[in-house]
Amino acid sequence: MTTQFYDRLSNDFTQLLESGINCDASIEVGEEEVNICNVHSIILQSRSPYFKKKFDEITSNEDHVKVLKLPNVSVRVFNVIIKYIYSGKISLEKLENSVIFDLLIASNELELDELVEHLQSHLVNDSASWLRLKFVLIYQTSYQVKNFKIIRDFCNNIITKYPNTIFESEIFHSLPEDALISIIKQDDLQLEEAKIWDHVIKWGKAKNPTLPTNLDEWTSDNFLSLKETLKGCLPHIRYFSFSNEDVVEKIYPYQQLLEQQLFSDINKKLITPAKPITSNVLPPRKILKATLPTRIPFPSNIINKEQALEISSWIDKNETPYFENNPYEFKLLVRGSRDGFHIKTIFTICDKVSNTIIILKVKGTGEILGGYNPLEWNINKNECKKTTDGFVFSLTDSTLNRVKGFGDYAIYNYPGNLQLGFGSSLRLIGDLKAEKKCFSNICSAADPELVHSNSKFSVEEYEVFKVSPNK
pLDDT at 191 over 90: yes
Calculated CA dihedral for residues 169, 173, 176, 181, nearest 10 degrees: 80
Nearest to 422 by CA among 461, 460, 391: 391
More confident residue, 321 or 23: 23
pLDDT at 102: 96
> pLDDT digits over 409-459, tens only?
789 999 999 999 998 889 999 999 999 999 988 765 444 444 455 579 999
Q: Tell me the whole-structure pTM to 2 decimals.
A: 0.65
pLDDT at 453: 54
Write down the mean pLDDT value for the chain: 90
Q: What are phi and psi of 411, to 5 degrees?
A: -115, 125
Nearest to 25 by CA among 45, 11, 10: 45
Q: Which helix (H) or strand (E) holds 419?
A: strand 419-422
pLDDT at 406: 53
> pLDDT digits over 245-267, tens only?
999 999 999 999 999 999 999 99
> What are the residue boundaries of the structural domains of the chain, listed by start?
162-271, 305-469
pLDDT at 123 over 50: yes
pLDDT at 310: 86
> pLDDT digits over 283-329, tens only?
999 988 654 444 446 899 999 888 898 899 899 887 666 777 889 99
pLDDT at 161: 87
Q: Are strands 25-29 and 66-70 parallel, antiparallel or unpaired?
A: parallel
Residues 6+ apart with CB under 8 A from 444: 394, 397, 399, 450, 451, 452
- Quote the DSSP letter at residue 384: E
3-class DSSP string for 292-349: CCCCCCCCCCCCCHHHHHHHHHHHCCCCCCCCCCCCEEEEEEEEHHHHCCEHHHHHHH
Residues, the chain: 471
